[in-house]
Amino acid sequence: MMSTRRYLIAANWKMHKTLEEARALAREVRRGLTWGLKAEVALAPPFTALAAVAGELADSDLRLAGQDAFWERQGAYTGAISPMMLKDAGCHYVIIGHSERRQYFGETDHTVNRKLKAVLEVGLCPICCIGESLEEREKGQTLARVGQQLEVGLAEMGSLTGEQLVLAYEPVWAIGTGLTATPQQAQEVHAFIRSRLRELLHAAAEEVRILYGGSVTPDNAATLMAETDIDGALVGGASLKSASFLGIITAAG
Ligand code: 13P
């Protein structure tokens, strides 16, 4: 990793944790962090637990994140949460375009673009997820797919600083499967993403953090993050227990 980019280790709890469980896990993570930590750490609980987790993280350096946001500011959109509501709840980050949102909730590169713009407008930092399916990888379409997700997802974004955006490369075949991309496989795509970002965002591309996600564990985190363009991790399963999540944070140094 380049020295100017600070590692970000983000926990995506997905649809897990009651209020009590969420509070307990947030407390354990907070207590387990050592002083002078190099990495930035963020927790993305389900919406119902945002306030409770915000309480546990108060007066700490840990960041709160939403798992999704709608693009409208307010209105008759039953079930939706606006970027401003997330900001109000204490979020700094919001995950946008996760492959599970694309797979189960019909999100497309176009809706991702609308959401990114809305999130940036209120000053939240999106963690924008991209990645190919197994079929796309096997057909040799990985870079084409990821390139398209970037191009459409980041269209008409105007000028951005490197701190306003985080990307997460999450190969769909590696999510929740135990099949982690090798550090070389991941680095190849991360380097490609950075080269496309140079065209889209110019100098800011060097500051944008590109996280890897997909079966990250305390055992594989260090070798993945040793790669030049891997600037942290977006962690699903291993973030649901404090011991494994703290192990991944420790691997970041
Ligand atoms: P796993 O770590 O469970 O593979 O999930 C990755 C992910 O989807 C994080 O957003």
Q: For position 229, which CATH number holds?
A: 3.20.20.70
**What is the arithmetic mean of pLDDT over 228-252?**
97
98 is catalytic: yes
The protein residue with its alpha carbon nearest to ligand 1, atom 7, reads 236
Question: What pLDDT sits at residue 35?
Answer: 77
d(CA 152, CA 193): 13
Catalytic residue among 100, 132, 136, 170: 170
Q: How far is the CA of 36 from the centre of ligand 1 (A)?
A: 27
| Rounded Cα distance, 248 and 218, in Å | 5
Residue 134: Cβ within 10 Å count: 13
pLDDT of 37 reads 84
* Residues 129-163: tens digit of each pLDDT: 999 999 999 999 999 999 999 999 999 988 899 99
Q: 115 in a domain, yes or no?
A: yes
Note whether residue 251 is domain-resident: no
Expressed as residue numbers, the domain containing 25 is: 8-241
Confirm if 41 and 68 have CB atoms less than 8 A apart. Answer: no
Task: Tell me the two tokens of residue 171.
Answer: 């190969």
Alpha-carbon distance 61 to 77, whole Å? Answer: 33
Return the pLDDT at 253: 85
Nearest CA to ligand 1 atom 5: 236
For residue 247, is it within any domain? no
> Quick check: is 170 catalytic?
yes
Count the domains in the chain.
1
* Residue 248: inside a domain: no
Residue 18 Cα, ligand 1 centroid: separation in angstroms? 19
Q: Alpha-carbon distance 28 to 160, whole Å?
A: 35
How many Cα atoms sit within 13 Å of 230 on the Cβ side?
28
Within 8 A by CB and 6+ apart from 221, the residues are 233, 247, 248, 251, 252
The residue whose CB lies within 8 Å of the most ligand 1 atoms, and thus the one to mutate among 43, 167, 173, 175, is 175
Cα distance between residue 74 and residue 238, in whole Å = 34
Residues 203-224 have pLDDT tens digits of 999 999 999 999 999 999 999 9
User: What burial class does residue 203 get, using C-beta atoms within 10 Å of its C-beta: 0-12 exposed, 13-18 middle, 19+ buried?
Assistant: exposed
Q: Is residue 246 part of a domain?
A: no
